[in-house]
Chains A and B, each alone.
Chain A
Amino acid sequence: MTGAVGGRTDAAVLAAIALVVLGTVLGNAALFVAAAVPISILLLSWLASPPSPEIAVERRIDPSPAAPGERTSVTLTVHNEGETTLSDARFVDGVPTELSVSAGSPRGCLSIRPGESGSISYEIVPRQGRYEFEDPIVRLRPISGAAVTTTHSPAVGDATLSCRRNAGAIPQLNGALRRVGTQPTDSGGPGIQFHSTREYRPGDEVRRIDWRRLAKTGELTTVNFDETSTAETVVIADGRSAGRRARTTGHPTATELTAYAADRAITALVSAGNAVGLCALGITNEAVDVPLASDNQGRPWVPTGLDDATRTQIDAVLDAVVEGARAEPDDSRLATPSDAVADGGHGGAFFGLRTRLSNRADVIVVTPALDEAPVSLVETVLAAGHRTVVIAPDVTDCETPGRAVRHAERVVRLRRLRATDATVIDWDTRQPLSATLEAHR
């Protein structure tokens, strides 16, 4: 700050000069002596040395690693290790440029006695990635004196915020999700494969008696059905451009949250022993790092499997979805049903998918439901006879008029989906995904 008066001691200097001069010009002793007040303040400030920081700064990031969209709190604790009180210590934490602060403030002015500590805390809603925090800026000012010390103070503790899809425990799948990948034992009818037969033991269920064999040979035998793994599960992740929008600036987009939900669902299914495959909408096969097959529309397709190779391919596809989520949404396409056709909506374009799905596959569609295409997708899949579960991350709310309108559209859409045979799980992304999945019945 040059030129204009601004310094703390400038006032005292001006006052002293004015008082001394006025005292002599007017011959007033009181004014002359009153100059002692600013002069003593000046002496105090000249005697005060610039404060040397003896502080220890520690940063904690909780939780780390964090899931995309999970509220993460960052706390900066400052411990005064010197022997004098830090009366005016100003801190600005080095928040990474890609992240925005959603609650609290990374700045603060603390007053810390020796041996004690003060803290600043704020919240971040992170997107997927690794983010480096910079050292916080510290400015120390003494109560008297104009000396100011400004430094970068290295912070121990957490300096990286890592936000991954596989952070946190694997969610428990309840309700319809639990039944995914299995066939009900009493469904009967054609198409059930039995695994083996054994001798009839008293107490076996009457329905499980092999009647044909009894009619042929007269032997009583019981059929053992293979209850698990008689069907496969395919997850369809909706990574189209309609979902490349976030709730507010700095928050993860709906597509990123879709990839996260798909990842968690797949992990939970695989850990329960199901074979899972993946198809991703909205990205091309070329965008995926790992070579894999595609359906006839160029969309990446991972066949169902339980092995590591499948897992690698799934991870690569979901990474490509998240990459695509960083791109700009294609605003030239409007969210009306007629345009959904052009986008690859109705039966014709999903035909490629249907040819890939085996007859008995259960389908989990993970989509933010921000336009009409997922509805026609689910209807197509249901019409082909697959049991369908829809997981829908919700990035809308009623806070602003624009979001409220999208929210209303989405509610109508989800109710239409619920009116079909599909099970719909509506995930409010302000809550953790595991809580929503576990609460679903």
Chain B
Amino acid sequence: MSESLLPEANWRPTTTATTAAASIAVVSTLALAAIVGDALVPAALGVLSGAALAATVRTVAAAERRVATAVGGSLAVVAGAAFLGWLLAAVVVQTAWPPIPPIEVLALAPFLFGLGGFVTGFGAFSSVRSRSPTADAGRTAARLLLVVVVPVCAIGGTRIDAPLTPVRNAALEFLAAPTPTLVSASAVFSRLGGLLILFSASAVAVRYGVAQLPFVELASESARPTAIAVRRWSRRFLGYAAAFSGLIGFMFILTRGRLAGYERELPPELMGTLAAASASPTLRGGLIAAGVAAIVAVLLIRTLRFVASERFPPRWLPVVSFTTGGVLTAGAAVANEPAASVALSRATTPTGETVIRELLTTFGSFSLLTGLIVASIGVASTLAISISLAAGVRALGAAAGMQLAGTGVFIAAIAAGIAGGPVLVVLCGVAASLLVWDLGEFAVTLGLEIGHRGPTRRGELTHVVGGVVIVSLAVAVGVAVVLATGRLPEPSSEATTLAVIAATLGTVTLLVVAR
């Protein structure tokens, strides 16, 4: 078995070029959004959601540790919420808060800016650490769906009251005490039998708890012999007690009819005590509580140990996902009131305020907030699945991270063009996207071929500078073309149409064929 001196992390994309490309991508996306229209908020939220999704994929899928999974669950909420946020912001930027239907036709540009920001953020942040995030996206989706379970149950719990009532009544009845005077002899013995069986069950549970709880392991040296002795004796005692009382209890229940005859032979005080004991709810409640406490304690100890263990078995990761869901639900329970008041106070129109108030009264702020969390995680999960699918049909190559970042900038440039921004800005945006793509491909191949240990910094800087120069030249050519076409005489519209068609067909064919 030969282990390589070079770890897998040595072949990651090299740092300088990747950082340069990532910063260019993010900055140019945000700059495009800011310059062209007031679409900065959707773009920024998009970048945030992309970055959070990248971090989620990395922590949830790539790192197997439980703290990472918990953090990843929270990051998924941020990712999904920011994703919904940029969609909403793209609408709000054009209308008011809150957006009330019917909404007239919306412009495409803010949505494209948000989408571009999302793709850029995801690509840029995931490429800094690894070559391609697509491998882990599918597993992330699966684990995130588990986080959703607890909040959904919480929402269901707030909505559903009726089914719980029969359960509550049955429990009370079990514990309720009938009046002693109405109890007949056979009933006393059968109830006594029931009590003894309950005692036996709880003794078994407590015995199990005593065996599992780490009294001996945590005892100090002087206390250890005592702890060992106590454990041994209590297990033995509880074992005998459970067996004995269980047997007697069964006997009482099976033979209750025939025992009625013995009632006369026993002293009346004894019978009175037995009747009281068999009917007492305190005793029953106490025994049930002891048994339940023992089981719960053992489960808690087990969970604690599994959570702390470094060799966390993957099949127990659902526990962490559920716990994260629980924590998020608790957070929603705490934060729903302030969030509701903030949403109300930010309403810009009176109709909006009425709408928000109606929503709050119909659903309740807790359900709304928890529903938002569920929706966010659902969105994040869907995005992760679609990324994984895109990788599956080989729409994304080996350098997927930076390719996505470049595509994001490209989308932003297209949005700038659609929004009617100055041509120079669109040219620069397209140039930036090509530069990001090229730098990303360069960093990936350099990492694969040379690795992190060899000297690469000078070569990287040269390439970055050279890339910027080439791209600026291309922009200059584009500007020259714009100026030239501006000078030309305006042909007739039919000629324009034909020219455009011919140019398009010719260009596309040439490009496709001449590769």
What residues of chain A have their CB less than 8 Å away from a CB belonging to chain B?
1, 3-6, 8-13, 15-24, 26, 28, 30-42, 44, 46, 87-90, 92, 100-101, 104-111, 118, 120, 139, 143-144, 249
Find chain B residues with CB under 8 A from A118 CB: 458
Instruction: Determine whether B183 belongs to the interface, using a CB cutoff of 8 Å to chain A.
Output: no
Q: How far is the CA of A13 from the CA of B403 in the complex (A)?
A: 14
A residues within 8 A CB of B441? 6, 8, 11
Q: Are B426 and A34 in touch, CB under 8 angstroms?
A: yes
Contact B467 A15, beta carbon cutoff 8 Å: no
Closest A residue to B433 by beta carbon equals A15
- On B, residues with C-beta under 8 Å from A are 2, 5, 394-399, 403, 406, 410, 413-414, 417-418, 420-421, 423, 426-427, 430-431, 433-434, 437-438, 441-442, 446, 449-451, 453-456, 458-463, 466-467, 470-471, 473-475, 477-478, 481-482, 485, 500-501, 503-504, 507-508, 511-512, 514-515
Q: Which of A15, A20, A101 contacts B507 (CB 8 A)?
A: A20
Given contacts A6-B397, A108-B454, contact A249 B5 (CB under 8 A): yes
Residues of chain B within 8 A of A42, CB atoms compared? 511
Q: Chain B at the A interface: mostly helix, strand, loop or mixed? A: helix
A393 CA / B342 CA spacing, docked (Å): 75
Query: Is there an interface contact between A4 and B397, defined as CB atoms closer than 8 Å?
Result: yes
Query: Are A37 and B431 interface neighbours, CB within 8 A?
Result: yes
CA distance A107 to B414 in the complex (A): 41
Q: Which residues of B contact A92 (CB under 8 A)?
A: 449-450
Whether the Cβ atoms of A37 and B397 lie closer than 8 Å is: no
**Chain A residues in 8 Å Cβ range of B438:** 8, 11
For the A-B complex with A23-B417, A44-B473, A143-B466 known, give 18 more contacts whose Cβ atoms are closer than 8 Å.
Answer: A8-B438, A9-B515, A11-B406, A13-B511, A17-B512, A21-B508, A24-B501, A26-B418, A31-B414, A37-B431, A88-B442, A88-B462, A105-B450, A108-B455, A108-B456, A111-B461, A111-B463, A118-B458
Residues in A with CB closer than 8 Å to B426 are 30-31, 34
Q: Could you tell me if B434 and A109 are in contact, using CB atoms closer than 8 angstroms? A: no
16 A-B pairs (CB sep. < 8 Å): A13-B515, A17-B507, A18-B410, A23-B417, A24-B500, A24-B504, A30-B421, A36-B474, A37-B430, A41-B470, A87-B459, A92-B450, A105-B450, A109-B456, A118-B458, A143-B466
Contact at A37–B453, with CB atoms within 8 Å?
Answer: no
Contacts of B500 in A (CB 8 A): 24, 32
**Contact B511 A16, beta carbon cutoff 8 Å:** yes
B434 touches A11 (CB 8 A): yes
- Which residues on A sit within 8 Å (CB–CB) of B2? 249
Say whether A37 contacts B406, CB under 8 Å. Answer: no
Question: A110 — nearest CB in chain B belongs to which residue?
Answer: B459
| Other-chain contact of B399, A6, A9, A101 (Cβ < 8 Å) | A6
Out of B431, B455, B508, name the residue touching A109 (CB < 8 Å).
Answer: B455
Complex Cα gap A111–B464 (Å): 12
A37 touches B434 (CB 8 A): yes
Q: Which of A18, A24, A37, A139 contacts B427, CB < 8 Å?
A: A37
- Specify which chain A residues have a CB less than 8 angstroms from the CB of B475 in the assembled complex: 37
Closest beta carbon of chain B to A112's beta carbon, Å: 9
Q: Given A8, A34, A89, A104, which contacts B478 in the complex, CB threshold below 8 Å? A: A34
Contact residues in B for A120 (Cβ distance below 8 Å)? 454-455
Query: Nearest 7 CB-CB pairs, A to B?
Result: A4-B397, A109-B459, A143-B466, A105-B453, A107-B454, A105-B454, A111-B462
| Given A20-B508, A24-B500, CB of A38 within 8 Å of CB of B474 | yes
Pair A144/B455 contact, Cβ less than 8 Å: no
**Cα distance A35–B512 when bound, in Å?**
15
Identity of the chain B residue whose Cβ is nearest the Cβ of A119 in the assembled complex: B455
